[in-house]
Amino acid sequence: MKKSSYNRRNVIEMSHRHNFRKNELKRKKAKRLKILKGTFSIAALILLISISIFAFLNSPVALISEIEIHGNFLLEKQEILEILPKVGQANFYAKRTSYYKEALAEEPLIKDFSIERNIFHRRVIIDITERTPLFKTIDNDEVYLVSIDGVKLPNIKEYSVPYITGLENSEQIPHLVDVLSDLDNSFVESVAEVNIENSNKVELYTVDNFTIIVGDIQRLTSNRVIEIMQLVEFQKSQDQRGIIDIRGRTVTFSPFGGE
């Protein structure tokens, strides 16, 4: 009797364990299925978002709508636009600020710039600071400009600056930049040519038909320039043109033809 009772308990316990394992397996299976469903839903959502972003970035509403250029006076707006992503063609969101920076940095006439991107209107606003040409010269049959900070620039025929003649090599340029950049702008603008063929007898020729004998270009100081400009204005008022010599202690004037 005791043995029969013991067997029944064993059977019941085994049945309980079996049911427990069965339920546990069902629970784990349901959990795995729930995870799989969740993973599938997330993957589907990511795929949908990716497709939507791809479609948006490749649609007309993602193209650059406008590029504004400010601060240019030597470069035409169209010249600048040619080196930048094209309006109505390039993707606004794909072209980051670094792309514009690299393109603008390649242009020697541009000294500095700032870039602003208007995300909502897909507009790019660029403010540039151009280099200021100081003089023009020729080397190896190439005519080019030199800026006030000593950078070689492409020649702009319409831009009026002194023409340096007699230049033997480009090593002379930094010294010329140092001297001329310290002088009064209106005086530099009045000079048509600076002949440095003979370093001990540098001569300037002005647009007003005056010849200025400088000698060593180091003599061309700001104080001397003030004297030259005063003398030029006086002689012009007398309807005189001639040679101004600054090699002595005082500035002298001799009219053309020895009159």
Q: What is the pLDDT of residues 146-156, one digit of tens each?
A: 999 999 999 98
Q: Does 55 score more than 60 pLDDT?
A: no
pLDDT score for 54: 57
pLDDT band for position 183 (50/70/90)? very high
Q: What is the mean pLDDT of the chain?
A: 84
Q: Does 38 score more than 80 pLDDT?
A: no
pLDDT band for position 89 (50/70/90)? confident
pLDDT band for position 124 (50/70/90)? very high
Do residues 246 and 221 lie in contact, with contact meaning Cβ atoms separated by under 8 Å? no
pTM of this prediction?
Answer: 0.72
pLDDT band for position 259 (50/70/90)? low
Tokens 């650059």 label which residue? 64
Using the Cα atoms of residue 246, residue 248, residue 249 and residue 255 in order, give the sign of their dihedral: negative
Q: Does 135 score more than 90 pLDDT?
A: yes
d(CA 217, CA 178): 11
pLDDT score for 180: 94
pLDDT band for position 167 (50/70/90)? confident
Share of the chain above pLDDT 90, in %: 55
Residue 70 has phi, psi (to 5 degrees) of -130, 150
Comparing 114 with 51, which gets the higher pLDDT?
A: 114
Burial of 153 (0-12, 13-18, 19+ CB in 10 A): buried
pLDDT band for position 186 (50/70/90)? very high
Name the pairing type of β-strands 152-154 and 142-147: antiparallel
Q: What is the mean pLDDT of residues 19-31?
A: 64
Do residues 217 and 166 lie in contact, with contact meaning Cβ atoms separated by under 8 Å? no
Comparing 181 with 19, which gets the higher pLDDT?
A: 181
pLDDT score for 50: 64
pLDDT score for 169: 80
pLDDT score for 43: 66
pLDDT score for 32: 67
How many other C-beta atoms are found inside a 10 Å radius of the C-beta of residue 8? 10
pLDDT score for 93: 80
pLDDT score for 255: 94
pLDDT score for 199: 83
pLDDT score for 95: 83
